[in-house]
Structure 1
Amino acid sequence: MSRRSKRRAKRETADHRDRWMITYADLITLLLIFFVIMYAMSNLDTGKYDVVTQSLQSTFNKSNSILELGNGLGDTPGQTISKTPSAQVQGESDDKQENPASDSEKDTPDDTNRPLTEREEQFRTQEQELQNLFNVITQYIEDNKLENQIYVADKPQGISITLSDRFLFDQGQAALKKDAAPTLSKLASLFRNLQMVVSIEGHTDNVPIGANSTYKDNWELSGERALSILRFFLDKEKLDPDHFQYAGYADTRPTGDNKTPAGRQKNRRVEITVLRQLQP
C-alpha cells in the first residue's frame, strides 16, 4: 500500500470517530435554546400585559360584543381594571368589613320563618305525642308507687315501658295476675289513639325451665308472656291489632348479671315499646 493510501485511511478513521461530537453539539445547542426560551417566558412584561388587558376589555365593552348583555370586565361599560381600588370602592369594602353580618343576614334564609314540610310536621306531632305519653306514664308510676315494678325511658327506638315479671306473672307462669289489669288498662287507654306500632317483648333469665313446667324452655315462656299481654290489649281492650307486634327473646338480651339473684330478677321482664315511626 502506498504512503498516500495509508494517510487517507487514517483520516477517514479519525473522521468516523469524531462524528458523535456533531450530535453532542446539536444537543447542547438545543438545550441552550430551551433554557433561553424558559427564561424569557419567566419575565412578565407588565406594559404588554396592561395593553393586552385593556384591549380585551374594550372588545367586551363594544355593542357588537359576544357578551351582548354584559358590561365587560368592569362594573360599568368602559371601566378599566386598576390595581388600586377607587375611594368609593374602598369605602364600600371597609363598610362590609365593619359589618360582616349584614351580607350574611341577607344571603342566609331565615329558617324560623320557613314553612315546615309535611314530614317535619308529622315528626313534630309524633315527638309531641311520645313526650306526652312519657309524662303521663311517669306521673302514673309516681302516683301509684310503682317505681320498683315499672320503668319508663325515652330511647332512640321509642318510649320503652319495662314491667317486672313479679308485677305481671307468678313464677314460671305466663298467665297475667289480676293486680296487673289496672296498669295494663291504663296503658291501653294511652295506646288507643296513637298511630304508632307497639312492640311487646318477653325476656327471662338463664335458669332452665323446671321438669314440671308446662313450657318447653325459656323461649316458649318468654313468647307466651308477651302474647298474654298482647291478648289483653286485643281481646279485653279491643285495640287495633295492626298496631302491635310481639316476640320472645328468652335470656339472649339480659340487662342484668345472671350470676346474681338481683341481676336475674332484672332480666325477667316484659318490655313494651311505642316505636318511633319517623326518625330525625
Structure 2
Amino acid sequence: MSRRRRAKKEGPSHQQERWLITYADLLTLLLIFFVIMYGVSSVDSEKYAAVSSSLQTTFQAGNNILDGGPKITGENGQQLPGSEGDDEGQAAEDPNEPAQEEPTERELQFREQERQLASFLQTINSYIADNGLEDQIFVADKPQGISITLSDRFLFDVGRADLKSGASGILDRLSSLFGTVDATISIEGHTDNQPITGGRYADNWELSGDRALSVLRYFIDVRGLDASQFQYAGYADTRPVGDNSTAQGRQQNRRVEITVLRQLQSDAVGSTP
C-alpha cells in the first residue's frame, strides 16, 4: 500500500518538468534564426573597401566613369560591369551619345577664308616693312575684315582723283594678293572737311567717290581682276579719323580705305555697296 502511494506522488512531478524541453527547443530555434539573419545582413568589408577606394579616386581626378574616368574594380582587381573599358557597359552607352556634327560647307568656307586672311595680313605687313611705307600705308585687322588705309599723298594730287604714277607699286602688290582671297573687297574714299572751290568737283562727295572709283578701275581695267569681287563708295568728310582743325588731322582724313571683308563673295551677290 505504501509503494502505490509513492508512485502516485512521483507521477505528477515528471509531467511538470516537460515544459523545459519545449522551452529549450524554442531558444535553440531563436538562436539559429538570429545567426542566419546576422549572416545575411553582414557587409563584405573587403568589397566595400574596394568600391569606396575606386569612387574616391574618381572624384579626386575631377572626372567620372561615363567620361572615361578610372574604373571600379572588385576585391580581386577585376573590372566591375559598366565601368570604363567594359564592352557590355560601353555598348549600352554608345547609342545615347550625341553624334558629332560635321561642319557645314559654309563653315568650311569661312574657316578657309580666315586662313587666307591671316596669310594676306602677314604678306602685306612684310611688304610695307620691306619698302619703308609705314607712314603711308596702315593695316589693321578689324572685325569686318583686313583694312588697308592708303594716304592720298602718293595716290592723288590735291583736289584730283587721277592716280599718280607712283601709286602703281602698292596697287600692283595688292592686286596680286586679292587673287589669293575668296572675299569681297570694299574700296572707300574719304576727304577732310575743307570745301572745294572751283575745279572739276562740286563737293567732297564727288571727290571721295571718284577717288575710290579710280582705285577700283585700276584693279579691274589695268590688273584685270574680277569686277564681282569689288564694291566702292565715297563718304566725303563724314567718317573722320583725325582732327580736322589741324593740318595733320586733315591729312589723316584724306585717304582711301581698302577692306578685305570677312564676307564670302556668294553672300555679296545682289547686295548694295
User: TM-score higher than 0.5 here?
Assistant: yes
TM-score (norm 1): 0.62
- 1:186-265 maps to which residues of 2 (within 5 A)? 186-210=173-197, 212-265=198-251
**2:62 is matched with which residue?**
100
**1:184 is matched with which residue?**
171
The reply on whether 1:128 has 2:90 as its aligned counterpart is: no
With over 3 angstroms needed to count, the CA separation of the structure-2 counterparts of 1:253 and 1:103, relative to structure 1, is farther
- 1:24-35 maps to which residues of 2 (within 5 A)? none
CA distance in 2, matches of 1:177, 1:259: 27
- Partner of 2:138: helix, strand, or coil? strand
Pairwise CA distance, 1:116: 4.9
Which ranges in structure 2 are unaligned for 5 or more consecutive residues? 1-46, 70-99, 265-273
Pairwise CA distance, 1:97: 2.3
- 1:97-176 maps to which residues of 2 (within 5 A)? 97-103=59-65, 105-106=67-68, 116-176=103-163
The amino acid of 1:241's aligned partner reads A
CA distance in 1, matches of 2:65, 2:114: 36
TM-score (norm 2): 0.64
Which ranges in structure 1 are unaligned for 5 or more consecutive residues? 1-85, 108-112
CA distance in 1, matches of 2:243, 2:150: 18
**1:30 is matched with which residue?**
none
- Render the CA deviation track for 1:58-101: whole Å, top value 9, x for unaligned: xxxxxxxxxxxxxxxxxxxxxxxxxxxx9366455434323332
CA distance in 2, matches of 1:190, 1:124: 18
Pairwise CA distance, 1:252: 0.4
- Partner of 1:258: helix, strand, or coil? coil
- Render the CA deviation track for 1:172-208: whole Å, top value 9, x for unaligned: 1000000001211111111123221000000000000
Fraction of identical pairs, as percent: 57
Pairwise CA distance, 1:104: 6.6
CA distance in 2, matches of 1:120, 1:106: 30
Pairwise CA distance, 1:167: 1.3
Pairwise CA distance, 1:156: 0.6
With over 3 angstroms needed to count, the CA separation of the structure-2 counterparts of 1:140 and 1:99, relative to structure 1, is closer
Pairwise CA distance, 1:213: 1.6
Pairwise CA distance, 1:102: 4.2
CA distance in 2, matches of 1:193, 1:98: 51
Equivalent residue pairs, number: 189
User: Does the 8 A contact of 2:117 with 2:181 survive in 1?
Assistant: no
